[in-house]
Amino acid sequence: MKILDANRIKADVAKLIADCLITPDRAVTDALRRIDTDSELESVAAKLIVENNDIAERERAYCCQDTGQALFFVRLGDGVSCVGLHDSLNAAVREAYSTARKSVADPLTRLNTHDNTPAIIETELVSGDALEISYLAKGAGSENMSKLYMLTPADGVDGMIRSVLDAAERGGRNACPPLVVGVGIGGVTETACTLSKRALLRPIGTPNARADVAALEKTLLDKINALGIGVAALGGRVTALAVNIEVAPTHIGMLPVAVNLQCHSLRHGTVKY
């Protein structure tokens, strides 16, 4: 049994969060540096996003004023013991968000918790003696554009494509494009929604290991960019930088499809033990 120190994890995760809130996914920023467009407005908007991210990294400032709600995806090996892991993750959030915007409130009273806790913690029990903790900051502007579609098996791949395009067309302008589109297919309702967020952790430009899923990712990316929404919704070729799909087996009578439109301020990272 591997014994891990919760205090060490708290310190590591607090640093991870602080760094992510300042420096979004560098692959996104690099893609914006190389943007291929014939729209002057789109080109200028992309350059401004890159400049914003460069200033944030240089000045150690938050890259977006919406520092989001903290989500954790925990892969916990059944050969790992860490007493206090849950509390350590929330303690890391309190520390890392001490100077950031506090955005978490009761859904009915709207009273703020004042420290951005509790975090959303999705835990997956796996075999082995490793612990992997991934952090994702979810701002409201893009998260509000999420969609869940409960299709029938007869809808098939065409239905999946229609659903993702519907979500992008309805919400893409409001989700701070260019987007990284996370898609979860299968399982039950909550499985699909969780997968759509897990998909955002995969580096852009890295296709799904399954050839048929990777082909669907490319088809969807091309179709979303053909919508012409463009960077900052100013019109152009680059509405999305990537479409990442994750799948899970589902009941023979169901076909859940969840779509998470992630803004260009994609802030995530992982620590492993």
User: What would the CATH number be for the domain defined by 140-265?
Assistant: 3.30.1330
Name the average pLDDT for the chain. Answer: 97
What is the predicted pLDDT for the residue at 36?
82
Q: Which DSSP category does 119 fall into?
A: P
Contact between 183 and 210 under an 8 Å Cβ cutoff? The reply is no
Coil, helix or strand at residue 245: strand
| Domain boundaries defined on the chain | 2-24+64-138, 140-265
pLDDT tens-digit map of 84-109: 999 999 999 999 999 999 999 999 99
What is the Cα–Cα distance from 47 to 64, expressed in whole angstroms?
A: 16
Q: How confident is the model at residue 37 (pLDDT cuts 50, 70, 90)?
A: confident
Strands 147-151 and 120-126: unpaired
In the chain, what percentage of residues exceed pLDDT 70? 100
Q: What Cα–Cα distance (Å) separates residue 249 from each residue in 187, 192, 246, 253, 255?
A: 5, 10, 11, 12, 10
The b/e string for 79-113 (b: 16+ C-beta within 10 A; e otherwise) is ebebeebbebbbbbbbbbbeebeebbeeeeeeeee
Tens of pLDDT, residues 56-93: 999 999 999 999 999 999 999 999 999 999 999 999 99
Q: Is 242's pLDDT higher than 90? A: yes
CA–CA distance, 246 with 213 (Å, rounded to integer):
8
- Residue given tokens 């991870």 in the structure block: 16
pLDDT at residue 38 greater than cutoff 90: no
Residues 6+ positions from 153 with CB-CB distance below 8 Å: 252, 253, 254, 255
* Residue whose pair of structure tokens reads 């012409």 in the numeric block: 228
Distance set, CA 79 to CA 4, 129, 273 (Å): 11, 4, 12
